[in-house]
Amino acid sequence: MSRPKLILLVTCRRCRVTTTQRRSVDHFRLGMVFAIASALSFGLSGPLAKALMDAGWSPTGAVTARMAVGAIAMAVFAAFVRPGWIREAIENYKSVIAYGIFPIAGAQLCYYNAVAHLSVGVALLLEYTSPILVVGYLWVTTRRRPTNMTLAGVGLAIVGITLVLDVFAGAHINTVGVAWGLGAAVCAACYFMMSDQVAADGSGLSPITLAAGGLIIGATVTGSLGVLGVMPLTFATNDAVVAGLTVSWVVPVIALGVITTAIAYTLGIMGIARLRPRFASLVGLSEVMFAVLAAWLLVGQAITAMQAIGGAVVLVGLALARQGDRGEMVEAATWPDAGPTDELTPCGDANG
């Protein structure tokens, strides 16, 4: 009787491992959908904000309007789908305040100040070195070196972004601008690391609560900077031109607040909760490619062959980084008596 019991025990182990693997794959795929949708939403912000600035808005005015509309939209949405979000935000006030200051307000403030001293391409490149910061931070804190494939993927993705942004065309360097650009990179890294505190299964701080509370804090901070005169705050009621169409200024403002802010941050937090922050930060690089495409469609900025090549290089880098992450997961998930989980078979395939 003991031998059948032993066989049953091993079989159940294998079944549980296989089930866990399948759930992990589904978890990853859902996370990828959220992360890419978030990057697409964020990528629309540049052309929409450009339309407002061409209509007479200052960068701070566009950002403040974006954050304010996003905060209102998220607050209303949260009131319906998560009635206790205010209490939850108060209970987690430290996380919510830090999220609103650094990933939301801080990233915007640092980036726009970088643009004031640098070319847009250089400023964006500096901000999107955030995956390097995330990889380095996790390497130091966990004392676990990433695989060579992961590091190669990070390097390739950064090279691809350099090509997409066409950084070396008319670029100029300024020490103050570089400092602001690196500050934007730190804030972007905080976005990925702090969003990771949200539990994907809903048992911890809700992404809806974090997004709603963070946007309220972010809107308050950016608005206060404008009111206090730290940054120029200018609004205008002139019509804006989007995708060749002349529309009311209300259209890009609502699109900025709802699509590129409320929806983008919520989906981003949900995606990062299901992906490792390191890999999620690399997926976030796709925002630049979406921004280039959006600029082409909405404001008529052409895409060059070099930018297209850069986009392909970014995708190759993401694929390498993903394979590196899978390798680490296989190494970590081993049974004391069975070896890597990828080598285990389902119960139906076990031979006894």
* Residue (of 336, 299, 310) closest to 46 by Cα position: 299
pLDDT computed for residue 250 by the predictor: 93
Within 10 Å of residue 8's Cβ, how many Cβ atoms? 11
Both tokens of 299, joined, read: 């404001």
Sole residue written with tokens 């390497």: 139
pLDDT computed for residue 14 by the predictor: 52
Which one has a higher pLDDT value, 59 or 350?
A: 59
pLDDT computed for residue 295 by the predictor: 66
For residue 300, what pLDDT band results from cuts at 50, 70 and 90?
low
CA distance 271 to 153: 20
- Of the listed ranges 69-73, 166-170, 242-246, 312-316, the least confidently predicted one is 166-170
For residue 240, the surrounding DSSP H or E stretch is strand 240-242
Report yes or no on 4 lying in a domain.
no
Whether the per-residue pLDDT at 146 is higher than 50: the answer is: yes
Contact 310, 145 (CB under 8 A): no
Report yes or no on 68 lying in a domain.
yes
Q: State the Cα angle at 55 between 52 and 59, rounded to 5°.
A: 45
Whether the per-residue pLDDT at 283 is higher than 50: the answer is: yes
Beta bridge partners of 245: 242
Whether the per-residue pLDDT at 79 is higher than 90: the answer is: yes
Burial class (CB in 10 A: 0-12, 13-18, 19+), 317: buried
Whether the per-residue pLDDT at 18 is higher than 70: the answer is: no
Q: How many separate domains does the chain show?
A: 1
For residue 243, what pLDDT band results from cuts at 50, 70 and 90?
confident
pLDDT computed for residue 90 by the predictor: 92
Which whole-number Å values give the CA distances from 259 to 56, 71, 319, 330, in the listed order? Answer: 22, 12, 28, 37
Report yes or no on 334 lying in a domain.
no
For residue 112, the surrounding DSSP H or E stretch is helix 107-117
Whether the per-residue pLDDT at 38 is higher than 60: the answer is: yes
pLDDT computed for residue 352 by the predictor: 38
- Amino acid at residue number 172: H
CA distance 86 to 216: 11
Whether the per-residue pLDDT at 16 is higher than 60: the answer is: no
Domain extent, residue 171, equals 22-328
Report yes or no on 130 lying in a domain.
yes
Q: 99-112, pLDDT tens digit by residue?
A: 999 999 888 888 77
CA distance 138 to 131: 11
* Reported pTM: 0.72
- In this structure, the dihedral spanned by the alpha carbons of residues 101, 103, 109 and 114, taken in order and rounded to 10 degrees, is 150
Report yes or no on 343 lying in a domain.
no
Report yes or no on 230 lying in a domain.
yes
Contact 265, 100 (CB under 8 A): no
pLDDT computed for residue 203 by the predictor: 54
pLDDT computed for residue 335 by the predictor: 32
pLDDT computed for residue 339 by the predictor: 36
pLDDT computed for residue 128 by the predictor: 77
For residue 324, what pLDDT band results from cuts at 50, 70 and 90?
low
Both tokens of 95, joined, read: 């996380």
pLDDT computed for residue 255 by the predictor: 92
Q: What is the DSSP letter of 145?
A: P
Over residues 18-42, the mean pLDDT reads 73
Over residues 8-25, the mean pLDDT reads 50
* Residue (of 108, 100, 147) closest to 278 by Cα position: 147
Report yes or no on 5 lying in a domain.
no
For residue 72, the surrounding DSSP H or E stretch is helix 59-81
- Of the listed ranges 18-22, 173-177, 187-191, 231-235, the least confidently predicted one is 18-22
Report yes or no on 205 lying in a domain.
yes
CA distance 264 to 141: 28
